[in-house]
Amino acid sequence: MLRTGRIVSALAIMAVAATAGAVNAQNFKTPGEKSFKAVSALMAIKSPATKACPAQAKMTGWITTNKPGTVLYMIARKGGSVSGPFQAQAVPSAQGAMATFSRNMTIQTAVNAEYRILVADGTGKVMSNWAPLKASCKF
């Protein structure tokens, strides 16, 4: 009987240790800790200053999050394709954290399009405004 009790105790200790390891492996948040999430997004595009092409345009985006961390986002063209996912690092700010990005774009032909940021968190709830990109490519 004593031997069976030791085996049961050893199995119980191993089960507790395995459970504790599984909890740590899944990175459960501690009580009161908020999970990382995007709050809002804003997009701006500076269209080319000249009418001659090729010309340069600049796309800039700001994604506000509830705390610092890596945020995944995509760029969507209205009525067209979606590119990404891309990532940006959110750093502490006055209202939680903010991730920023900018891209220079070379415009080769006339364009009249709109773009927006889609935060790649799977919920589809955080999207930026539509930002226009216009270039006539005419002298």
pLDDT in tens, 80-128: 999 999 999 999 998 889 999 999 999 999 999 999 999 987 677 899 9
C-beta neighbour count of 72 within 10 angstroms: 17
Fold of 38-135: Immunoglobulin-like (2.60.40)
> Which pLDDT score is estimated for 95?
82
Higher pLDDT, 139 or 110: 110
Residue 8 pLDDT > 80? no
Rounded Cα gap, residues 88 and 70, in angstroms? 6
Assess contact for 57 and 115: CB atoms under 8 A.
Answer: no
> Which pLDDT score is estimated for 114?
97
Residue 9 pLDDT > 50? no
> Which pLDDT score is estimated for 117?
96
- Residue pointed to by tokens 């760029």: 75
Phi, psi (deg, nearest 5) at residue 9: -60, -40
138 is written with which tokens? 């005419």
Any idea where the domains of the chain sit in the sequence?
Answer: 38-135
Query: In this predicted model, what pLDDT tens digit does every residue of 29-50 receive, in sequence order?
Result: 556 667 888 999 999 999 998 8
Q: What is the mean pLDDT of residues 17-40?
A: 58
> Which pLDDT score is estimated for 128?
96
